[in-house]
Structure 1
Amino acid sequence: MMKILIVTSIMIALTLGVGSRTVSADADYDTALKSSPEALTLTGIFQTGTGTVSGASNVATVVTLDAKGNVVPEGSTTADKSLVKITDAQKQVGSEWSTPNNKFDINKDNLTTMWMYFGNAGGNSGDGMAFVLQNDARGTAAISGAGQALGVWGVDNGGWESTVANSAIKNSWALEFDTHRNGDSGAGSGFDDLDSIKDNHLASTYPGTADSYQRNGIINKYNKLGHKNIINTAKLSNGKWWHVTLDYKSSGLMTYTIGDKDPSTGAALAGQTNSFNIDKSKFDSASGQLTWGFTGATGSNYENNLVMFEKISSLVSADAVQKVTDVTQNNADVTNSGTVVSGDEVNFQSTLTYKDGKQDWQKIEALLQVPNDVTLDKEATIKYADGTIQKFDTTKVTNKAISAVLSKSLSKTNNTATISMNGTANTVTSDTKVASPASAFNGKNAMITSNAAAFTIKASQQRFTITGLVNQTINVGQAAKVAASIKTDTILEDNVLIVTTKLNGAQLSDDYIELNKLDPYPYSETIPANKLKLGDNTYTIRVDDGYGDSKTVQSTITVKDLGKIDLTTVNDLNFGTIPIPQSTTTYNPVSAMNVELEASLPGSWNLGVEGSDVVGTDGSILKGALIYKDSVNAAETVVNSNSLTILNGQSSPSKVTKTWAKDTGILLKVKPSEVKTQSYKATINWTLSHTPTE
Structure 2
Amino acid sequence: MKLGGIIVGLLILGLIMGPQAVQAATTDKTEDIAGALKTAPQGGKVDGYFKTGQILNNSAKVVNTGREDGTQAVQLTDGGYNELGTIWTTDAAKMDLSQDQTASMWLYTGNKGVYSGDGMAFVLQNGGIDASAVDTSDTKQPVPAVGETLGVWGYDANSKFSLGRDAQGLVKTGIQKSWALEFDTFSNEGVPPLYGDSPADINMKWKDYFSNSAHLANQFDVDVPKMHIASAYPGDAGAYDVSGKDFSWGWPFRHNSHYSYAKLRHQGIIFREHGSYQLLGTGHWQHLTLSWDALSESMKYTFDDKDPDNGTPRKGYSATVRIDKTKLGLAKNGSQKVRWGFTGTTGNATGNTETNLVIFEQVPSLVNVDATASLKDMTSNQAITQASDVVNAGDRLHLDYHLRYVSGREPWKDIQAKLELPKNIQFNSAKITYANGNSQNITDLISANKTGELNQQLDSLSTTNLNATISLSGIAVSGGERVIPATNSSFTGTNAIAQADLTGVQVDENDQTVRDIRPMM
Provide TM-score, normalisation by structure 2: 0.74
Q: Does 1:445 align with 2:495?
A: yes
Equivalent position of 1:299 in the other structure: 347
145-154 vs 102-111, which moves further: 102-111
Pairing of 1:541-556 with structure 2 (within 5 A): none
Note the C-alpha offset of 1:308.
1.0
Equivalent position of 1:80 in the other structure: 70
Q: Does 1:224 align with 2:231?
A: no
CA contact (8 A) 1:97 1:294 kept: yes
CA contact (8 A) 1:352 1:418 kept: yes
CA contact (8 A) 2:84 2:151 kept: yes
Q: 1:229 to 1:354 in 2, by over 3 A?
A: closer
Within the candidate set 256, 271, 277, 2:316 is matched to 271
Q: Please list every run of 5 or more consecutive structure 2 residues that lacks an aligned counterpart in the other structure.
A: 1-27, 134-144, 191-209, 246-256, 273-277
CA contact (8 A) 1:143 1:151 kept: yes
Note the C-alpha offset of 1:343.
3.6
Q: 1:35 to 1:463 in 2, by over 3 A?
A: closer
Pairing of 1:236-255 with structure 2 (within 5 A): 236-250=280-294, 251-255=296-300
Pairing of 1:130-145 with structure 2 (within 5 A): 130-136=121-127, 139-144=128-133, 145=145
Deviations along 1:315-343, one digit per CA (max 9) or x if unpaired, are: 2222223233456x4x9454337765544
Matched positions, count: 427
Deviations along 1:650-676, one digit per CA (max 9) or x if unpaired, are: xxxxxxxxxxxxxxxxxxxxxxxxxxx
Equivalent position of 2:62 in the other structure: 62
Partner SS, residue 101 of structure 1: helix
Q: Does 1:204 align with 2:231?
A: yes
Q: 1:223 to 1:397 in 2, by over 3 A?
A: farther
Within the candidate set 307, 310, 313, 1:262 is matched to 307
Deviations along 1:331-365, one digit per CA (max 9) or x if unpaired, are: 94543377655444433221212121122112222
Q: Does 1:425 align with 2:504?
A: no
Note the C-alpha offset of 1:93.
1.1
Q: 1:249 to 1:441 in 2, by over 3 A?
A: same
Pairing of 1:519-668 with structure 2 (within 5 A): none
Q: Distance in 2 between matches of 1:359 and 1:395?
A: 35
Q: Please list every run of 5 or more consecutive structure 1 residues that lacks an aligned counterpart in the other structure.
A: 1-23, 68-77, 465-497, 508-694
Whichever of the two has the greater Rg, that structure is 1
Q: 1:220 to 1:415 in 2, by over 3 A?
A: same
Q: 1:428 to 1:222 in 2, by over 3 A?
A: closer
Equivalent position of 2:7 in the other structure: none
Partner SS, residue 393 of structure 1: helix
Q: Distance in 1 between matches of 2:393 and 2:432?
A: 26
CA contact (8 A) 1:60 1:87 kept: yes
Q: Does 1:376 align with 2:415?
A: no
Pairing of 1:311-326 with structure 2 (within 5 A): 311-326=362-377
Q: Distance in 2 between matches of 1:108 and 1:83?
A: 27
Deviations along 1:632-666, one digit per CA (max 9) or x if unpaired, are: xxxxxxxxxxxxxxxxxxxxxxxxxxxxxxxxxxx
Q: Distance in 1 between matches of 2:43 and 2:226?
A: 29
Partner SS, residue 280 of structure 2: coil
Q: 1:207 to 1:395 in 2, by over 3 A?
A: farther
Q: 1:232 to 1:210 in 2, by over 3 A?
A: same
CA contact (8 A) 1:370 1:436 kept: no
Equivalent position of 1:412 in the other structure: 463
Q: 1:213 to 1:304 in 2, by over 3 A?
A: same
Q: Distance in 1 between matches of 2:40 and 2:517?
A: 49
CA contact (8 A) 2:422 2:452 kept: no
Equivalent position of 2:8 in the other structure: none
Pairing of 1:21-36 with structure 2 (within 5 A): 26-36=30-40
Note the C-alpha offset of 1:127.
0.6
Note the C-alpha offset of 1:97.
0.6
Structure that is richer in helix per residue: 2
Equivalent position of 2:182 in the other structure: 176
Partner SS, residue 148 of structure 1: coil
Identity, % of aligned positions:
34
Pairing of 1:470-485 with structure 2 (within 5 A): none
Deviations along 1:176-211, one digit per CA (max 9) or x if unpaired, are: 111122233568853545443222111211111123
Equivalent position of 1:617 in the other structure: none
Partner SS, residue 141 of structure 1: coil
One-letter identity of the residue aligned with 2:173 = S
CA contact (8 A) 1:49 1:142 kept: yes
CA contact (8 A) 2:377 2:384 kept: no
CA contact (8 A) 2:38 2:65 kept: no
Aligned Cα root-mean-square deviation (Å): 3.2
Deviations along 1:124-169, one digit per CA (max 9) or x if unpaired, are: 2111001111113xx1111111111111111112122211111111
CA contact (8 A) 1:63 1:84 kept: yes
Q: Distance in 1 between matches of 2:188 and 2:360?
A: 28
One-letter identity of the residue aligned with 2:270 = I
Equivalent position of 1:46 in the other structure: 50
Q: Does 1:127 align with 2:177?
A: no
Q: 1:459 to 1:214 in 2, by over 3 A?
A: closer
Partner SS, residue 140 of structure 1: coil
Partner SS, residue 266 of structure 1: coil
